[in-house]
Structure formats: C-alpha cells, structure tokens
Structure 1
Amino acid sequence: MIKMTDAPEKLATPTDLKSNEIKDVAEGLNRVLADSYALYLKTKNFHWHVSGPHFRDYHLMFDEQAAAILGTTDAIAERVRKTGNTTLRSIGDISRHQTIDDNDADFVSAKDMLKELRDDNLALVETLRVVKTAADDSDDHATSALVDEWIDAAEERAWFLFESAQSG
C-alpha cells in the first residue's frame, strides 16, 4: 500500500514581496480575472447571437477578441499564485468578484453589442490601472509589466469596437 506523504495545509509560495502590500495587488488581479471571464463569456455570447448586415465581420471580431481575453486568464491567475496568494476557484467565485455586468437579454442589436463591449473593455482598463498602481506601490515590477500589456490589449479591443460602430 502506498502511503501518502503529509500534504501542506496551506499553499505556500516563496516571494520577497511584502504580504500586506501584495494582498491589494492579488485582490485586484482576482477582480481582473473575474472581469476577464465575464467579458470573455459576454463576448462569446455576442459572437453566437450577432445578426445583421455586418454579421461576418462582427462574428469574427468577437471570436478573435474572446480568444484574446481568454488567453490572458491563465497568466493572471498564475501571477496571483506567484505572489503567494490564492486565486478564483469557481463560477460562483467569479460572480462574487466580477464588476462587469452579464447580459442575459434575449436580443441585443449589433450596435448595442459593440457599445457594451467597448464600455466593458474600457471598464477593464480602469480596473487594470488600479492594479498597476497597487503593483507599483508594492515594488511588484513583474505584475506592473504584465498589466501594461493587458491595458494595451483592452484599449485596442475598445478601439476596434468603437471604430466598428461608426456609421458612414
């Protein structure tokens, strides 16, 4: 019979970051992670339900944006763990941390989809800027650098959504 070794009762990750300061960073990253999942699912929802004369363009753009958003989630969660903290564990945990609203409407016009996703990406940028400030205040340069990339990506998504909504 194989005997299990004693497992730790608590996750422990070596870090030189001060636990009190980095807790704010981890909490902010968990909020970003929850919002990223909420934004991912909303973007996929709109990808699946878009309709109208620009169907193909919007359908493809929403799919590309959803993939990019989902692509950041592992890096966000792993950064939380690298700082010695824990991250989200479930859909319920996501819902408790998210600040981006879900959209369960039976029908949303393509124009409203573009506007809502643009606003949500800009809201994500605001949350990311708060995390950046906390990371800088904590001398957490790795998180700060990652957040710069995520801000740029969210701003680009918002820009594409804005330009796609222009009439003319």
Structure 2
Amino acid sequence: MTHHDKMPIDIGISEEHRAAIAEGLSRLLADTYTLYLKTHNYHWNVTGPMFNTLHLMFETQYNELALAVDLIAERIRALGHPAPGSYKTYARLTSIPEEDDQPNAEEMIRRLVAGQETVVRTARSVFPAAEQASDQPTMDLLTARMQIHEKNAWMLRSLLES
C-alpha cells in the first residue's frame, strides 16, 4: 500500500450510509456556522436598553456554536468525507437567510430564534439517515445539538414576552 492509497473505513456503516449522513451533517455544519456568524454580528452591533443582557447572551451562544462547528466537522471527517469550510459552500448549503441590514435588538432576537429553530429542524432531518445506519455517535451529536438549540430558542423567545 503506497502512501497515496486510502485505507478503507470499516466502522460498520456502509459507504452509501456514510455519504448520506455526511451530506446531512454538512448542511447542519453550514447552518451552525451561519448562525455563529449572525450571532457574532449581533453581539457586536446590538444597541438599546437590553444591550448588556443581549451582548453577553449572544457571546455565550456564539462561543458554544464555535465549539459545535468543530464537533460536526470532525464527525463528517470520521465518516470519511471532507468537511465543507468556505463561505461559498455554506451559502449554498445553509437554510438560514443571510442579511446585511442593521436590525434593532428585538428583530435580532426574532431572527436568532428563527435561526436556532432552523438548526433544530436541520438536525432532526439528518436523524433518520443516522438511525437507519445505526450510527449512534451521529445520533448522540444530533440529539445534543437539538437540545441546545431548542433551549436557546426558548431563552431568546422568553426575552420577547412582556
């Protein structure tokens, strides 16, 4: 075996299943990175009476998202596929709209709730492929991501209630 030959992956998941799961995780990675960027942008640009609360909350959330993109990308690599890593690719794969306006604090919260819920739906959409392949590590990752994003959506939504 020369150093150019790839050693086959034999983890009990077929190549077809690994490809399907990696494709779904790539969409999850794109959504997560896009939400990371949006949350970081809002952290920098939020103003108004809730500034301190939102500045800190957004920072907590983007730091968690930064760790999450690493976990998702590493799972894609463990399945034997390249992890997407460019804005161009993320723009094609993400379900989260990018905007370049300057929303007020309340609109930032609304957009982040929508973004968090989009990530949940994307993670949920990958679950059947992971389940079909008995890919427990991916199912664990997806379950953890859904829990975190559902909680974040709830916490953000709570700020909008009077």
Q: TM above 0.5, one fold?
A: yes
Q: Which moved more, 1:147-156 or 1:86-95?
A: 86-95
Match of 1:155 among 145, 150, 161: 150
Match of 1:136 among 118, 131, 153: 131
Q: Does structure 2 retain, via aligned residues, the 8 Å contact 1:13–1:81? A: no
Q: Does structure 2 retain, via aligned residues, the 8 Å contact 1:14–1:84? A: no
Alignment RMSD, CA only?
A: 1.5
Matched position secondary structure for 1:99: coil
Q: 1:14 to 1:92 in 2, by over 3 A?
A: farther
Identity %: 34
Letter in 1 for 2:125: V
Q: Does structure 2 retain, via aligned residues, the 8 Å contact 1:15–1:82? A: no
Letter in 2 for 1:101: P
- 1:157 deviates by 0.7
Q: Does 1:120 align with 2:126?
A: no
Deviations 1:76-116 (A, max 9, x none): 011011112221132222222111111210x2011111011
- 1:10 deviates by 5.6
Matched position secondary structure for 1:53: coil
Matched position secondary structure for 1:101: coil
What stretches of structure 1 of length at least 5 have no aligned partner?
Answer: 1-5
Deviations 1:133-167 (A, max 9, x none): 21001111110011111100001110110001112
Matched position secondary structure for 1:148: helix
Aligned to 1:89: 85
Aligned to 1:21: 17
Matched position secondary structure for 1:104: coil
Letter in 2 for 1:146: L
Larger Rg: 1
Q: How many residues align?
A: 161
Distance 2:108 2:8 in 1: 42
Aligned to 1:31: 27
Q: 1:12 to 1:53 in 2, by over 3 A?
A: farther
Q: 1:29 to 1:11 in 2, by over 3 A?
A: farther
Letter in 2 for 1:131: V
Q: 1:122 to 1:159 in 2, by over 3 A?
A: same
Distance 1:61 1:70 in 2: 14
Stretches of 4+ aligned residues off by more than 2 angstroms:
6-16
Distance 1:132 1:36 in 2: 16
What stretches of structure 2 of length at least 5 have no aligned partner?
Answer: none
